[in-house]
Structure 1
Amino acid sequence: MAQKIIGMLGGMSWKSSAEYYRLVNEGVRDRLGGLHSAQCLMWSFDFDDIAVLQREDRWNDAADLMVEAAQRLERGGADFLIICTNTMHKAYDRLRAAVDLPLLHIADPTAERIKADGHKRVGLLGTAFTMEQDFYKGRLADLHGLDVIVPDATDRATVHRIIYDELVQGKVEAASRDAYRAVIGRLVAAGAEAIILGCTEIMLLVGPEDSPVPLYDTTGLHAAAAVELALG
């Protein structure tokens, strides 16, 4: 069968982009069988370039890089795009205006699954940018009607530090897993019925056994939605 070509904006970090590549190929194989795999193009950033702009609050400059990469994928023949990171969905509106391709937002398949499972009040883990700014929480609340809670300032700093100092560098530490378990426990005590793993690296650290409530892995759900769109 004809597949749509998935354009993947990756490298933020390459660790999670490698998971995206594995998941979309496994998803196509499982759907079509045999030797089938996904038709995709990936632009992979040097993540340090993006991370510096994030730290310096130069989001417009970061969005410029994202737009340039998206246009490269469009010229290369991609049929639709996915941003293989939660945080850089801050550039989502800029990308939508800059390319004539559908852009599959990572929060949408996540929210749809959460609603289908009957949850309303959700805890959000991610980078400090994702947890504190409105570009992500606002979409979950305004478009999908979810009640989103985030950790307190101390816990947000811990979650953010572990992402940048460990997970994006391929370090998976038992002490950090314990720290995340504690943060999740406090979100559940505050009323969270489910937890969104709102950074594409967090699934490298924690799984269902680490939480008393369901975890929603944005990486897996986003990749599955991309497969569904690619196969029509």
Structure 2
Amino acid sequence: MKKVILKNIIYCLLFVFFISCDKVTDKSKTSESTKTKMEQNKLPHKEMNKLGLIGGTSWHSTIEYYAAINQSINDYYGNNTNPPLLVYTINQAEVHRLQKINKWDAIAEMLKEAALGLQKGGAKSVMFCANTPHKVFDIVQKQLDLPIIHIGDATATAIKNKGVNRVGFLGTIYTMEGDFITKRIADNNVEVFVPEEKEILTELQRIIEEELTYGIIKPASKTYVLNVIQELVNRGSEGIVLGCTEFPLMIFDDDLEIPIFNTTKIHSEAAVNYILKE
């Protein structure tokens, strides 16, 4: 009798074991099937759009662009597939010299020549890897027959998607005194605040030009920038736009209690969307 009971128990255990194996196999097959469908829905890597990056202002932030775009494409394909990127580095020292003597037409010519060089290399679109060069965006775009992905448009979209209606904007003295970035944001029904005192604009420019473009991060300078941000918050800002691609090297999400709009990251995401034809 005991042998019969033991035999039945063994049969039951074997039955449960085989049923469990079947379920695991079914789940495995389902998982593989789902994975295959996901892979089939991805854009074939040979069909990615080739993008040209005009960097060098500064090369430190250009590295951030390059890394962010490549990492996002790797994540999309789930391996080390890299995007078809071309990089043209312009001379930042010359750009700074021309800015100081108000020769923006010469800067526009530098950017145009860079874009044409990238186009010859096969780029279907280009982007300026910084905010300030967008001061001559319209001039350069009129001389090209390929599109330039605008950092201001991408930033405005990110702000609206976050549900923020009032932002503080920090950048170079040229982006804060001009409206070639802030207006494109404001045109999307977003109120934009910038520092008003000339001495603040000048000091922010000094920090960018003499420190951040060299990769130098000074605690005292970071404290100064955070104090300027707090003044913008006191004026009603619900988010802060880091409208210079060097500021994200210094200011991070954990530094503030309100959303940060990192234009380097946002512009890089726009680049990824273009590359993947989204």
**Normalised-by-shorter TM-score class:** over 0.9
Correspondences of 1:91-170 after superposition (within 5 Å):
91-142=136-187, 144-153=188-197, 154-170=199-215
Counterpart for residue 35 of structure 2: none
CA distance in 2, matches of 1:224, 1:230: 10
Does the aligned pair in 2 maintain the 1:184–1:211 contact within 8 Å? no
Please tell me whether the aligned partners of residues 177 and 206 of structure 1 are also in contact (alpha carbons under 8 angstroms). yes
Indicate which of 256, 264, 274 corresponds to 1:219.
Answer: 264
Query: Aligned equivalents of 1:73 and 1:201: distance in 2?
Result: 24
Partner SS, residue 196 of structure 1: strand
Q: Which structure is richer in relative contact order (CA contacts within 8 A, separation 6 or more)?
A: 1
Aligned equivalents of 2:258, 2:52: Cα separation in 1 = 33
Q: Is the 8 A contact 1:122 1:147 kept in 2?
A: yes
Give the TM-score taking structure 2 as reference length.
0.81
How far is the alpha carbon of 1:152 from its aligned partner? 2.4
Q: How many Å apart are 1:176 and its aligned residue? A: 1.0
Give, in whole Å, the separation in 2 of the partners of 1:60 and 1:146.
Answer: 30
Provide the rounded CA distance (Å) in 1 between the counterparts of 2:221 and 2:58.
19
Let me know the Cα RMSD of the aligned residues. 1.0
SS at the partner of 2:167? strand
Which stretch of structure 1 is more off in the superposition, 90-99 or 177-186? 90-99
CA distance in 1, matches of 2:226, 2:183: 25
Question: What stretches of structure 1 of length at least 5 have no aligned partner?
Answer: none
Using the TM superposition, give the Cα deviation of residue 145 of structure 1 relative to its aligned residue in structure 2, in angstroms: 2.0
Name the CA distance, whole Å, in 2 between partners of 1:20 and 1:194. 22
Deviates more, 1:96-105 or 1:193-202: 96-105
The SS at the match of 2:180 is helix
Aligned residue identity for 1:145: N
Partner residue in 1 for 2:94: 49
Amino acid aligned to 2:86? L
Partner SS state of residue 9, structure 1: strand
- Contact kept in structure 2, 1:10 and 1:42, CA below 8 Å: yes
Checking the alignment, whether the CA contact within 8 Å between 1:3 and 1:230 is kept in structure 2 is: yes
Q: TM-score, normalised by structure 1?
A: 0.97
